[in-house]
Amino acid sequence: MSRVAVLGGGRSSEHDVSLRSAAAVAAGLRAAGHDVVEVDLARDGGWATRDGAPVALTPGGGLLGCDVVFPVLHGPFGEDGTVQGLLDLLDVPYVGSPVLGSAVCMDKLVFKDLMLAAGIPQVAYEPVHARDWEADRERVLSRVEALGLPVWVKPSRLGSSVGIAPARTPEEIAPAIEDALRHDARVIVEASAVGVEAETAVLGSGDAPTVSEIGQIVLTSTDPDAWYDYEAKYTPGGMELRIPAPISPTAKARVQELAARAFTLSCCDGLARADFFVHGEEVLLNELNTLPGFTETSAYGKLWEASGVAYPDLVSRLVALALERHERERAQAF
Ligand SMILES: Nc1ncnc2c1ncn2[C@@H]1O[C@H](COP(=O)(O)OP(=O)(O)O)[C@@H](O)[C@H]1O
Ligand SMILES: [Mg+2]
């Protein structure tokens, strides 16, 4: 059994969601017999233990005498490699992807460029950089309009659908780009995918991951234009995960194969949720989330439960994987 520091909260707009995920992970670890220390990361960036004592960090000094750290942080300053780099400097093993995998999966443009180079199927897309937009917006718009309508306009590095908007008419494109540029100086505009939104959960070391059963995101809204926006994600009852997803055996095998390949290609480790659009036999990768929602009712836990891995076993396996990786990395010369 290990002494595990669970990090929750953080500076992103997903602070509260992270606290709920962290509480579930802590309970799961305790149920599996681990000793848990909860660390709250405040919105202003400070770290404190549950008794309110500020946490002092010393490079090379580990974290609160713990064997391993379980960051349960979503979005910028937590899921994007920043906290992972800090944990590397503290020299403490941690659950989940290292700096590179975390950063790659947080940046939609870099991630999609990497998947494109590897031939992983995905929607067509165009990058929009603030400087190009300011220099010649007509030129940018003509590139973007070639994607057809609707297009999906997104800040390159956020999560929880924040700053994302579908543009259904040509007039909606420029305001959507302006809005996304307020969140990030790099924006991605994507062609629209159709079909089932499918999710699968990846678990294991970077080069030998296992992939769970597949679920379908079903929105409970009756609005025909509804999509998986912030409200649908976080309003209780806003969505349901249907497991197994109603897709063909060929599509299912393809989702699982692509999830594992994308996980390895993007230098992930430990865990990720892989999201797809499935239309008949066509499977397009949408994204990998390296620290997905982690309550017992979140997709990641439910998908493993449906695949025969109970929640306490799941969090325990992740701790074991973190310790194994740290051991492997220590054995390498640098
Ligand atoms: N290219 C697309 N085609 C169709 N729907 C999309 C597309 N991109 C995003 N969406 C919708 O928007 C949601 C959020 O987009 P996503 O890229 O997953 O952002 P986030 O990282 O915030 O979850 C998706 O779950 C889906 O419902
Ligand atoms: Mg998503």
* Parent domain of 206: 194-290
HSE of 10, CA atoms in CB hemisphere, 13 A: 27
- For the stretch 76-135, pLDDT in tens is 899 999 999 999 999 999 999 999 999 999 999 999 999 999 999 999 999 999 999 999
Residues 160 and 221 in one domain: no
Max Cα–Cα distance, the chain, nearest Å: 60
Mean pLDDT for the chain overall: 95
E strands, 206-238, where? 208-219
* Residue tagged active-site, from 18, 21, 289, 307: 289
Tell me how far the alpha carbon of residue 121 lies from the centroid of ligand 2, in angstroms.
17
Tell me how far the alpha carbon of residue 162 lies from the centroid of ligand 1, in angstroms.
10
**Mean pLDDT score, 129-149:** 97
- For the stretch 14-64, pLDDT in tens is 899 999 999 999 999 999 999 999 999 999 999 999 999 999 999 999 999
Q: Is 287 in the pocket of ligand 1 (CB under 6 A)?
A: yes
Alpha helical stretches, state H, the chain = 15-31, 82-90, 99-106, 108-117, 130-135, 137-145, 170-183, 230-234, 249-265, 299-306, 311-330
Residues 215 and 227 in one domain: yes
Residues 241 and 281 in one domain: yes
* Cα angle 221-224-225, degrees, rounded to a multiple of 5: 95
User: Is 275 annotated as catalytic?
Assistant: yes
CATH number at residue 220: 3.30.470.20
Other Cβ atoms less than 10 A from the Cβ of 89: the count is: 12
Residues 180 and 247 in one domain: no
Q: Is 221 in the pocket of ligand 1 (CB under 6 A)?
A: no
Q: Are 245 and 218 in contact (CB under 8 A)?
A: no
User: Is 234 annotated as catalytic?
Assistant: yes
The tokens for 78 are 């937590």
Probe residue for ligand 1, chosen from 110, 173, 228 as the CB with the greatest number of ligand atoms within 8 Å: 228
Q: Are 202 and 274 in contact (CB under 8 A)?
A: yes
pTM for the complete prediction? 0.96
Q: Is 113 inside any structural domain?
A: no
- For the stretch 294-326, pLDDT in tens is 987 899 999 999 999 999 999 999 999 999 999
